[in-house]
Structure 1
Amino acid sequence: MAEHEVSRRGFGKLAGAAGVGAALGGTLAASPASAATRTWHQGGQYVKSLRVFDGTMKTFMQDRNISAGQLAVSYKGRLVFGRSYAWTDDEKLRFGPTALFRIASLSKSITATAVNLLVQQGRLKLSTPVTELLELNPPEGEKVDPRVSEITVRRLLQHLAGWDRDISGDATFENFATAKQLGVGLPVGIDQIIRYGAGKPLDHDPGTKYAYCNYGYMLLGKIVEKVSGQPFETFVKKNVLNPMGITRMRQGRTLAEHRAPTEVPYFSQYTSTTVMDDSGKKVPLPYGGFRLENFEATGGWLSSAVDMVRFASLFDSTKVLNTASVKRTFAEPETGINSKGYYYGMGWLVRPVSGGSGMNTWHDGSVGGTFAYMVRQYNGISWVALFNQRDDKSGKSYYDIDSSMWDAIRSVKSWPSHDLYDKYF
């Protein structure tokens, strides 16, 4: 689950994080199908004035041999575009704009909303240290870094806790190390990973350096449960998603045989040793190279592009968060705006637009078999693109969807007056 950087408006050259396949010691696997055997299919309502989006997705997917994708676009609060795309030789792979995809770290925007809602309700304070909310019991023989008491809820939300995956790794993915350290078999669960991570020293003093941290959002999920008294998924569905009319979203599961109804299949060029049991067998990376159930608050949701655009509209209304909470979501962290002109707010990356005319906010999601991208533009346009693959042998960046979509949006001459939300309710 990766974070990346973008430019102000054209979203120029992008820098992605290291691939999970490499981090897990994955090996190359065969591509799902050759381009010569594939055919192109589109689903959802065709919109002539926005056909440039169909062309953008077709070029992007075919250049990377991606078999399944979705795109949804809203304009001034109206869903004006919702389409699905299949580039495949599999006649059974037919799905619509409401089919489910893993969304990886787009999930962090949802978790941050749940936390901010609890703050809004007066049930939680951003200044509260994590040690006052959760018991962090490290493995036997390990100690909790004393600086952990300086990690507040706010610092967890803004990736300022002090854990840095580029230095000491990402506990969220360290299934084998967790099992060995705790003397347990696979699969390991969230509570075990939290215990394993509690014994890791911080790489930075809390509040001093931004470092993207999946483990921190895993802790936030547990905080939501502790404060609300409900399972994480239950609280989010009832209090964040349902008020927005979102009913299809759900937590995903790891194995192919446990795919949700309408959920697409996932592909990767990598295989990895399974983390689902102690067999040591090699499996496709998306189906056991990591345990999706452990991602929960940091990257575990399934959604359609349509519903993620609907979720993004939450920040242009007061249906869930009030004006003060929305403002807090996008406020500068204590470290300020970085040298590249953006910062991580609470579950969103934020870049103020020069001239004070607003801000662009976004998040990406990237894990084996999944690439997702969500943008709220300063000019009232929001869009979400989802794919069932995040790596292939073309070597082309998946983050190029960002600049490609900005180019496509700038080329639109006339925006339609319709609203497709009722069509895809």
Structure 2
Amino acid sequence: MTKQFTSVSILMLEQQGKLKVTDVISNYIPDYPNGSNITIHHLLTHTSGIKDFTKIKGLSEISQKEMTPQMMVDFFKNEPVDFKPGEKFEYNNSGYIVLGYIIEKVSGEKYEDFIRKNIFEKIGMIHSYYATDRKVIKDRAYGYHKKSDGFVNKSVISFSVPYASGSLMSTLDDMLKWQIALNQNLLLNQKESTKAFTKYKLNNGEEIEYGYGWHLKNINGIPTREHGGSIFGFKSMGVYIPGKDIYVLGFSNCDCNSPTQVVKDIAELALKNLP
């Protein structure tokens, strides 16, 4: 669910006049292959065609290393593209790595500092962090894997690898503050907020069910804004129904079972039980 925060950060910078979602990424990363044809919009909507770093064989070799954003971009930027920009929708973590790097270049701050100052502190998300296994955090949930003979502690990774695509940690209470801030336009004006929750089209005119950081779907015809999260030892899912102001969240500290279906079922039940 980190991608929501990354996309809103990009829109905040656009709101400040520091970038445009129509900008090509070569404006910010001049040596990026084909960067003059890939826009920030393509990255936000998973339509860039660049290789998803989670599918690259060498990932295990860097998973426990401390990586800079530049090192992460260099890890995948020269991989063959999967398709031309705007041609297809294919969920892609690399795009959000690039977005995090652009946030740093434009703001002059580290990604985690930008998120902390401009989002967490601004709306009172006092129990949300850029994740690290080294920091002692009160009441922290520990992640687990399930093996054939029982549960084991999650694999240790460096959170500098998922970075702006999946390295934020939060609580249910803080995520409610996040949703309220979005509803009340505390971070984005109405124009920028609308961009986040608009369904976009591919080059051929086909509409995709994705905005900027959210899947835009429906439950029995009623529009929803949804997104899940998955990283070693943890899974999460959030479904917001804007027309009814219903927000259902599910967090799991085992990556053995996703809360996705349970969350969707609860959201559907909540709709049925409305007066």
- TM-score range relative to shorter protein: 0.7 to 0.9
Structure 2: 5+ residue stretches without partners: none
**1:351 equivalent in structure 2:** 217
Structure 1: 5+ residue stretches without partners: 1-105, 138-143, 180-185, 272-283, 415-425
Q: In the alignment, does 2:24 pair up with 1:129? A: yes
1:163–1:285 Cα change, 3 Å: farther
Shift of 1:337: 5.9
1-structure distance, mates of 2:139, 2:5: 21
1:318–1:188 Cα change, 3 Å: closer
1:171–1:373 Cα change, 3 Å: same
2-structure distance, mates of 1:133, 1:352: 36
RMSD over aligned Cα atoms:
2.8
Match of 1:193 among 57, 68, 72: 72
TM-score by length of 1: 0.58
* Equivalences for residues 173-184 of structure 1 within 5 A: 174-176=59-61
**1:260 equivalent in structure 2:** 137
1:217–1:238 Cα change, 3 Å: same
Shift of 1:353: 7.5
Q: In the alignment, does 2:181 pair up with 1:286? A: no
Shift of 1:260: 2.2
User: Do 2:251 and 2:259's aligned partners in 1 also have CA atoms closer than 8 Å?
Assistant: no
Q: In the alignment, does 2:267 pair up with 1:406? A: yes
1:222–1:169 Cα change, 3 Å: closer
2-structure distance, mates of 1:399, 1:216: 23
Q: Summarize deviations over 1:139-185 as a string: whole Å, max 9, x none.
A: xxxxx3xx3321111111111110254xx853598142x69xxxxxx
TM-score by length of 2: 0.86
Q: Which of the two has higher C-alpha Rg? A: 1
Shift of 1:313: 1.9
Match of 2:46 among 155, 159, 164: 159
2-structure distance, mates of 1:130, 1:332: 22
Q: Summarize deviations over 1:302-330 as a string: whole Å, max 9, x none.
A: 10011112112222112110000111111
User: Do 1:148 and 1:206's aligned partners in 2 also have CA atoms closer than 8 Å?
Assistant: no
1-structure distance, mates of 2:7, 2:57: 18
Shift of 1:412: 4.6
**1:364 equivalent in structure 2:** 228
* Equivalences for residues 96-175 of structure 1 within 5 A: 106-136=1-31, 144=33, 147-165=34-52, 170-171=55-56, 174-175=59-60
- Percent identical among aligned pairs is 22
Shift of 1:354: 8.1
Match of 1:379 among 244, 249, 253: 244
1-structure distance, mates of 2:219, 2:264: 16
1-structure distance, mates of 2:224, 2:230: 20
**1:32 equivalent in structure 2:** none
1:169–1:235 Cα change, 3 Å: closer
1:330–1:296 Cα change, 3 Å: same
- Tell me: higher relative CO, structure 1 or 2? Use CA pairs within 8 A at least 6 residues apart: 1
Name the amino acid aligned to 1:296.
Y
Q: How many residue pairs get matched?
A: 268
Give the secondary-structure state (helix, strand or coil) at the position aligned to 1:151: coil
1:173–1:309 Cα change, 3 Å: farther
2-structure distance, mates of 1:169, 1:251: 20
